[in-house]
């Protein structure tokens, strides 16, 4: 890859050498089709069931299991399978990932969308007004994929339980799984994606217990998406375990880099043309989102790319769709202002020296703009 500095780990992480080596061995070992009717197929299926419980326990705690999928987008489609929404309403927010919003719209469910506040938090009063006894599912996120804001899941959980007693609470944990503890006491389902914590692929919908697995199996009978290869399931679990082993160390490294960049960007010359979108107390340390006063974020991203620095103007999943960022619009940056953003996202492999190089390159780009 022709990139000297990679600050786009929220779209896809680098794969550690230990995980890559494990993947090579797993491909040669766990190749049997789990649907085959012979003994090897049966053993493969039993192994996957064991891995389902292992991944659920690793990331969310005892009692959770995983229904495997090939991507976060596929997880959302499993969650919003039309067979689950023949009655009742579904509540999501204007800050959800575009792939989740699309899956929700296509499900045929009665869809209600809660608003957001300027600080990036879900508008709890708006959410409360939409919840009722007919709500069957409420979808929120732990860390917003573009802005990096972390939501108050405890408060959201309390709202759902008091205003929509029949609803399940789903949490999009794609940007937090493997990086910070998941607040599993506050959700019934969660989405995770291996691309975000060092696996070469794979994703999962996490849920509680055997009933969840039976429910997922029934949905798969009429769901025409793909299945994860057995070897990739093994790699996903190994990568998750590896990320958790390094979680505290990586969080310290990432936090120091984020704080250093925030401090520098709040000073001249950067403060003349940008500011951090989310206050640090509300933000994940793994993502730093900035808003430009006059610059188009996509142009800045391309100019940095020419200098060997990879960052993002928003969600990679929307990069070809055009239009302003829905997340920026949701918090009040409308029209042209919705294009004036840049997201930096980190891993434990990033260094303070890379941060200094980025700052120098950004200053040069701004001068050339």
Estimate the share of the chain in helix, then strand, then coil, as percent rounded to the nearest 5.
Answer: 45, 20, 35
DSSP character at residue 176: T
**Domain shared by 191 and 270, yes or no:** no
**Domain shared by 192 and 233, yes or no:** yes
Task: Indicate if the pLDDT at residue 70 is higher than 60.
Answer: yes
How many whole angstroms separate alpha carbon 116 and alpha carbon 127? Answer: 9
Q: How far is CA 187 from the centre of its chain?
A: 15
**Domain shared by 235 and 332, yes or no:** no
In angstroms, the Cα distances linking 20 to 16, 27, 200, 273 are 6, 11, 8, 41
Task: Indicate if the pLDDT at residue 317 is higher than 60.
Answer: no
Domain boundary pick from 216, 245, 274? 245
Do 260 and 276 contact (CB within 8 A), yes or no? no
CATH of residue 270: 3.90.1150.10
Rg (CA), the chain: 21
How many whole angstroms separate alpha carbon 320 and alpha carbon 335? Answer: 18
Q: What is the pLDDT of residues 270-308, one digit of tens each?
A: 999 999 999 999 999 999 999 999 999 999 999 999 999
How many whole angstroms separate alpha carbon 98 and alpha carbon 100? Answer: 5
How many residues are present in the chain? Answer: 369
Confidence class of residue 23 from pLDDT cuts 50, 70 and 90? very high
Q: Which two tokens stand for residue 316?
A: 């990679």
pLDDT, residue 322, reads: 61
Task: Indicate if the pLDDT at residue 315 is higher than 60.
Answer: no
pLDDT, residue 320, reads: 46
Do 90 and 136 contact (CB within 8 A), yes or no? yes
**Domain shared by 198 and 257, yes or no:** no
Please count the structural domains in the chain: 2
Domain boundary pick from 245, 280, 298? 245
Domain boundary pick from 188, 213, 245? 245
Q: Assign residue 162 a region: left if phi > 0, alpha if psi is -120 to 50, beta otherwise?
A: alpha
Using DSSP bridges, classify how beta strands 341-345 and 64-69 pair: parallel, antiparallel or unpaired: unpaired
Residue with tokens 């391309």: 302
Task: Indicate if the pLDDT at residue 220 is higher than 80.
Answer: no
Confidence class of residue 174 from pLDDT cuts 50, 70 and 90? very high
**Domain shared by 218 and 256, yes or no:** no
Q: What is the pLDDT of residues 204-214, one digit of tens each?
A: 999 987 777 77
How many whole angstroms separate alpha carbon 76 and alpha carbon 68? Answer: 12
The domain of 179 spans: 17-245
Task: Indicate if the pLDDT at residue 357 is higher than 80.
Answer: yes
Q: Which two tokens stand for residue 348?
A: 């434990």
Q: Which two tokens stand for residue 285?
A: 């340390």
Query: Looking at the DSSP assignment, which residues form a beta bridge with residue 310?
Result: 6
Task: Indicate if the pLDDT at residue 321 is higher than 60.
Answer: no
* Residues whose CB is less than 8 angstroms from the CB of residue 346 and which lie 6 or more positions away in sequence, other chains included: 7, 9, 254, 257, 258, 285, 286, 287, 288
**Domain shared by 40 and 162, yes or no:** yes
At residue 329, what are phi and psi to the nearest 5 degrees? -60, -40
* Residues whose CB is less than 8 angstroms from the CB of residue 320 and which lie 6 or more positions away in sequence, other chains included: none
Q: What is the pLDDT of residues 25-63, one digit of tens each?
A: 999 988 888 878 888 887 888 888 889 999 999 999 999
Residue with tokens 């800045």: 300
* Residues whose CB is less than 8 angstroms from the CB of residue 2 and which lie 6 or more positions away in sequence, other chains included: 308
**Domain shared by 80 and 38, yes or no:** yes
Question: What percent of the chain lies above the pLDDT cut of 70?
Answer: 94
Enumerate helices (H) and strands (E) in the chain, giving the number of each: 12, 12
**Domain shared by 67 and 200, yes or no:** yes
Do 111 and 240 contact (CB within 8 A), yes or no? no
Q: Mean per-residue pLDDT for 101-112? A: 92
How many whole angstroms separate alpha carbon 54 and alpha carbon 353? Answer: 37
CATH of residue 210: 3.40.640.10
**Domain shared by 288 and 204, yes or no:** no
**Domain shared by 225 and 279, yes or no:** no
**Domain shared by 250 and 114, yes or no:** no
Using DSSP bridges, classify how beta strands 287-292 and 274-276 pair: parallel, antiparallel or unpaired: antiparallel
How many whole angstroms separate alpha carbon 335 and alpha carbon 343? Answer: 19
How many whole angstroms separate alpha carbon 96 and alpha carbon 109? Answer: 16
Task: Indicate if the pLDDT at residue 327 is higher than 50.
Answer: yes
**Domain shared by 264 and 307, yes or no:** yes
Task: Indicate if the pLDDT at residue 1 is higher than 50.
Answer: no
């Amino acid at each position: 890859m022709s990139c000297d500095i990679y600050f786009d780990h929220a779209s896809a992480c680098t794969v550690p050498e230990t995980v890559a080596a494990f993947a090579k061995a797993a491909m040669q070992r766990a190749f049997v089709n789990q649907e085959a009717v012979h003994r090897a197929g049966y053993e493969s299926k039993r192994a996957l069931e064991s891995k389902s419980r292992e991944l659920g326990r690793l990331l969310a705690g005892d009692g959770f299991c995983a229904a495997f999928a090939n991507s976060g987008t596929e997880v959302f489609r499993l969650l919003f399978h039309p067979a689950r929404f023949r009655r009742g309403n579904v509540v999501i927010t204007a800050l959800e990932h575009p792939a989740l919003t699309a899956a929700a719209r296509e499900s045929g469910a009665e869809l209600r969308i809660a608003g957001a506040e300027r600080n990036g938090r879900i508008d709890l009063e708006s959410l409360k007004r939409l919840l009722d006894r007919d709500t069957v599912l409420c979808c929120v996120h732990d860390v917003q994929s573009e802005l990096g804001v972390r939501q108050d899941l405890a408060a959201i959980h309390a709202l759902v339980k008091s205003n929509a007693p029949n609803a399940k609470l789903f949490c999009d944990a794609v940007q937090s799984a493997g990086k910070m503890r998941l607040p599993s006491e506050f959700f019934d389902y969660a989405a995770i994606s291996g691309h975000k914590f060092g696996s070469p692929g794979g994703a999962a919908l996490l849920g509680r217990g055997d009933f969840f697995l039976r429910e997922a199996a029934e949905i798969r009978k009429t769901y025409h998406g793909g299945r994860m290869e057995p070897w990739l399931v093994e790699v996903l679990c190994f990568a998750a375990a590896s990320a958790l082993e390094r979680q505290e160390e990586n969080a310290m490294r990432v936090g120091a880099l984020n704080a250093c960049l925030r401090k520098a960007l709040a000073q001249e010359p950067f403060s003349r043309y940008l500011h951090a979108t989310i206050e640090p107390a509300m933000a994940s340390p793994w993502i730093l989102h900035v808003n430009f006063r006059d610059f188009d974020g996509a142009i800045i991203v391309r100019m940095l790319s020419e200098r060997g620095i990879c960052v993002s103007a928003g969600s990679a999943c929307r990069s070809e769709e055009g239009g302003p960022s829905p997340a920026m619009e949701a918090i009040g940056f409308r029209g042209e202002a919705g294009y004036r953003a840049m997201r930096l996202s980190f891993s434990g492999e990033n260094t303070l020296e890379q941060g200094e190089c980025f700052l120098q390159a950004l200053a040069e780009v701004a001068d050339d703009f």
